[in-house]
Structure 1
Amino acid sequence: MIIPFWSRLRLAPRIVLVIIGALLAMKAVDKAMPLVIRPPEAMFFDRDWLLATLQDIRDRSITAPAAERPALLRDLPVRQWLDITLLSSPPDFRHSEREGGFTDLHRRITDRLGLTPQDVLLKADEPDDPEYSPRPLVIILPPLPTVIMDVFDDRSANMLSSDLRIAFRIGPQEDWLVVTPKSDGQEIVRMTRNVALPLLAVVLIGLLSVWVARGIVKPLDDLAEAAEKLGRDREPRLVGSFNAPELQAIGNSFNAMQLRLKRFVDDRLQMIAAISHDLRTPLTRLRLFAEYLPDPDQRRQVMSDIAEMEAMMSATLTFASTQLKDEPRSPSDLAAMLISLCDTAADAGCMVAYEGPDHARLVYRPVAMRRAFANLIDNGCKFGSHVWVRLRETPDAFVITVSDDGPGIPPDQFENAFRPFVRLESSRNRDTGGTGLGLTIAQDIILTHDGDIMLSAAPDTNGLVVTVTLPRQG
């Protein structure tokens, strides 16, 4: 199988190629734009011609009756180069206070028309990039001859503007004339282009960045998900092949680590299960011999020790076995199961109270879940005189709390409480019996259902509160 060129590249060359590709693509779009949207026209005006034209327009406007001015201005031959607008009030733009050629032009217009500087307004925006000007460019040259390259280099004499407006008063009233270069009708199109180009660059670079980032983040998400599954189910989830050499090396190492951990844990659990199983036969013989002890107190003590050892072996076999995890999930009534466990504990002499709905449908492993909550309720009964079981529904999950009024556990020991075969140094120790596996088995089962289990101190007593959260979509 031929490996594509891209899959052989490491991450650094990929990022470099994507950046270069984005820049080349934007350059290509930039060069192709003039073929789709033509650049602005460049109109060259001789300064003396412009001054004479403005004087002619003002003289004709003043001598013509007010009612005939619009028609007169509309029919002027100069309209092929200039747009002329008649206003009955001063224009809405401000005079550009600029040094250089336009300042000299404003002074010449004022002198030529015989007006005061306040009666002549000149607005001239100099473009940063003439090629991207939305309006036609106006280049006003001093008397010819001149060198064409000096038009863009020498701005002191040659005047370049992308938005030239000349306004002057034409009468004692508030009548004004505004003279502007003739529009080619493409201003909106060019303005749209000027806005679209940066947006296109951002979108293109964003898409390429997301594509590259996805190629990096997706394998990391797969690794995180596989690690989460390994921590919950103790089952390896091999990650697939990645399209980058660095990520593929990480994936291969992670897969090998999962298999080694799985083999290590399975070997230890199998050893523990074998030892626990093999101890059943000698314990049975000890039970038979204990029946013939003449002293009743000794017989009772030996039988109690044997029963405790059998309970330890049963819990150990349950912890080491995968039978509960292999049980198929099925829709079951979580509330009914909790009520049944509370009734069973109450029949055994423990004061257990249930609070919550009578029915709560959830898909889970019935035998495993029953074992988990039985352990939690038994722990509460063992270390406290009262146990409260509460079931609460939320839109996304079921929340079950099992609390007791026992001696509790110090907060700094909460994490150790879930470790197998650990008995905490308080009244929750060997004197009360147990194997130290109840919470461990419950946590293991809850985690395989994508749930969460946590410990906290009871707010009103010194007891322990175990909070279990089971998602509705497990």
Structure 2
Amino acid sequence: MKLRAWPDSLFGRLVMILAVGMFAGQLLTSTIWFETHDNRTLEIPARLFASRLADTVRLLQHAPDATARDAIVTQLSDARYRLQWTDAPQPVQQTSLAKRTVSDLITGVIRRRLGEPIDVRLIDAELRDEEHKHKGILSLFDSRMPTGDFHVQMKLPDGRWLDAQANEGQAGMLSEPGSLVFDYLVRIYLLRFVAICVLAFVAVRFAVQPLRDLARAADALGRNIYRPPLPVSGPLEVRSAAMSFNSMQRQLTESFAGRARFLTAVSHDLRSPLTRLRLRVEMLPDPQWRDRLRGDLDDMEAMVRATLDAVQGIEVTEARHEIDLDSMLEGLAEDAREAGHAVTVEGRAARPVAGYPRNLKRCLQNLLDNAIRYGGEASIHVVDDGRAVRVAIRDNGPGIPDETMLARAFEPYFRGNAGRADGTGASGGTGLGLTIAQSIAATHGGTLTLRNRTAGGLEAELVLPRDV
């Protein structure tokens, strides 16, 4: 089975669009999570640095003169805490939200410790791993005790600018990179992705349900044009489609009703001229011509009746019911036996089948009549596999050896070769029986196929699915 990257169904496409869109949005907003953890990891070093810097400023404020202040700066400086005077502050570049948070934290601590406002400018702040390498956010995942690098410039009360650079640790606190990875991948992505998929499945299934109802109604319309109208519910677009569908159904119903009325009128109107022709035929002096014209008139009347019968036979004008197929077949077989024909029934349906009783009986009657007409007798075989019921009606007649004619047997007014009709001396009929039977089979969502039997004769197999 070939996997499709883009689903074929509307349901699958909407689910994919929602899931991918939400997941992409999560990826874009994941920087918030990183900045939150970055800020939390930088918080302790920033507080330590700010407290140390506040103590330094307090010492410098109590120094008697500039020489003493220079000495304090020199004495306090070391490899992890470097102090120097600067003539002018560096310009502060546009910083990220994390750095602005750290800047506010450091400024707040210093001002609270000193008890007075002071101009503090954060030049830079970032994390280092345990190897003292700058890895940015990755330091959260590969170091148990990342440290913070800070660069601050501040203006002292005497107007001089002090430049301070420091590297502060976590005051002995350890972080677990594994737990951070688990928290990031599982809690933020996996759980949310699963929740998004579940929500998308439920929401999309609810949203497309009216469309599925519309598709089922369209499929059922092909089998029964007189089915109840589709309920008008759901979103505006679906309601509009349902109303259009119901309008189309009404138009089709009226069209078929008009066609039936037209054919009925034609049949009625033809009877008068046919009756006059019969009277005139009887007045002909030549008996041979009278017989020929009688036969032609009989054929014309039979054709008119068959055409009207065909139109009425394939129309569904009753509700769908559960049909006892076994009883129906036995009744048809018994009627045939009473008429002097040998008909047997083998096999049974496991349970009733859903369908239209009058139409289904017409279909089976036509198939049985064909088998009796061309074979003199018939056998009915029923097989029920749980998914469908197969009814095979077999005869012992000449069959239809020509495969081309076998394929055309369902065409209206088409009759098999003369050999099949003459095998029993019976009339070949009007050629509408199989056409009607096939239409009724399609109305039930089933199929009707013909095949020549190996032992001779023809088999007509009607398949009625149960899930329609």
TM-score interval (norm. to shorter): 0.5 to 0.7
Seen in structure 2, the aligned counterparts of structure 1 residues 212 and 330 have a Cα distance that, compared at 3 Å, is closer
Q: Which residue of 1 aligns with 2:118?
A: none
Aligned mate of 1:138, from 125, 135, 145: 145
Q: Which of 452, 455, 473 is the equivalent residue of 2:449?
A: 455
SS at match of 1:391: strand
Deviation per residue, 1:396-435 (Å, 9 max, x gap) = 332111233433276666675444x331564478994323
User: Alpha-carbon deviations, 1:314-361, whole Å to 9, x = none?
Assistant: 333333337973235555532232233234335545554432239964
* Greater mean alpha carbon deviation, residues 188-197 or residues 300-309: 300-309
How far apart, in 2, do the equivalents of 1:206 and 1:358 lie? 43
Name the CA shift for 1:283/1:194 in 2 (closer, same or farther; >3 Å). Answer: same
* Shift of residue 395, structure 1, vs aligned partner: 1.5
TM-score with structure 2 setting the length: 0.56
1:197 to 188, 203, 206: 188
Residue matched to 1:434: 429
Is the aligned partner of 1:321 residue 2:312? yes
* Aligned-residue CA RMSD (Å): 5.4
Residue 287 of structure 1: CA displacement? 6.2
Q: Quick check: 1:409–1:457 contact (8 Å CA) kept in 2?
A: no
In structure 1, the gaps of 5 or more residues are 1-14, 50-99, 106-123, 149-157, 161-180
Q: Could you tell me which residue of structure 1 aligns to residue 112 of structure 2?
A: none
Give me the whole-angstrom Cα distance separating, in 2, the residues matched to 1:222 and 1:410.
44
Structure 2 partner of 1:408: 400
SS in 2 for 1:470: strand
- Does the C-alpha gap of structure 1 residues 302 and 345 become closer, same or farther in structure 2, counting only changes over 3 Å? farther
In structure 2, the CA distance between the partners of 1:205 and 1:185, relative to structure 1 (3 Å rule), is closer
String of CA shifts for 1:371-391, please: whole Å, max 9, x gaps.
211101112233445533211
Of 459, 465, 468, 2:462 maps to 468
CA distance in structure 2 between the aligned counterparts of 1:235 and 1:413, rounded to whole angstroms: 34
> Take 1:350 and 1:225, find their aligned partners in 2: how far apart are those partners?
43
Rounded Cα–Cα distance in structure 2 between residues aligned with 1:359 and 1:284: 51
Q: TM-score, normalised by structure 1?
A: 0.55
Q: Is the 8 A contact 1:337 1:370 kept in 2?
A: yes
Structure 2 residue 231 is matched with structure 1 residue 224? no
Do the aligned partners of 2:448 and 2:460 also contact (CA within 8 Å) in 1? yes
Task: State how 1:74-85 maps to structure 2 within 5 Å.
Answer: none
The within-5 A match list for 1:48-447 is 129-130=138-139, 133=141, 137-139=144-146, 147=151, 183=174, 188=179, 191-203=182-194, 205-206=196-197, 210=201, 214=205, 217-218=208-209, 220-235=211-226, 237=229, 240=232, 243=235, 257-283=248-274, 304-321=295-312, 325-328=316-319, 330-348=321-339, 350-357=341-348, 361-385=352-376, 387-404=378-395, 405-408=397-400, 417-419=409-411, 421-423=412-414, 426-427=417-418, 432-447=427-442
Question: Whole-Å Cα distance in 1 between the matches of residues 350 and 233 of structure 2?
Answer: 45
Match of 2:316, SS state, is: helix
User: 2: CA distance between counterparts of 1:433 and 1:231?
Assistant: 30
Q: 2: CA distance between counterparts of 1:261 and 1:190?
A: 64
Note closer, same or farther for the CA distance 1:249–1:334 as it changes in structure 2 (3 Å cut).
closer
Deviations 1:77-99 (A, max 9, x none): xxxxxxxxxxxxxxxxxxxxxxx
Equivalent pair of 1:423/1:436 in contact (CA under 8 Å):
yes
SS at match of 1:398: strand
Match of 1:70 in 2: none
| Counterpart-to-counterpart distance in 2, 1:16 and 1:364 | 41
- Give the distance between the partners of 1:24 and 1:280, measured in 2 at CA: 77
Aligned residues: 356
Inter-partner Cα distance in structure 2 for 1:349 and 1:196: 81
Q: Percent identity, aligned pairs only?
A: 28
Return the alpha-carbon distance in structure 2 between the equivalents of residues 130 and 383 of structure 1: 90
Shift of 1:300: 6.0
Amino acid at match of 1:326: T
| 5+ residue gaps, structure 2 | 1-15, 49-77, 81-127, 153-166
Kept after mapping to 2: 8 A contact 1:42/1:136: no
Contact 2:145 2:175 in 1 (8 A): no
| CA distance in 2 between partners of 1:336 and 1:451 (Å) | 21
User: Structure 1 CA distance, aligned partners of 2:324 and 2:461?
Assistant: 19
Amino acid at match of 1:446: A
Letter matched to residue 444 of structure 1:
S
Deviations 1:101-142 (A, max 9, x none): 988x9xxxxxxxxxxxxxxxxxx99786445x3x8642368x
Paired letter, 1:275: V
Give the conservation status (yes or no) of the 8 Å contact 2:342–2:377: yes
1:10-21 equivalences in 2 (<5 Å): none
Report the Cα distance in structure 1 between the residues aligned to 2:22 and 2:197, rounded to whole angstroms: 13
- Please tell me whether the aligned partners of residues 377 and 402 of structure 1 are also in contact (alpha carbons under 8 angstroms): yes
Moved more, 406-415 or 15-24: 15-24
Q: Is the 8 A contact 1:329 1:363 kept in 2?
A: yes
Alpha-carbon distance in structure 2 between the residues aligned to 1:288 and 1:259:
44
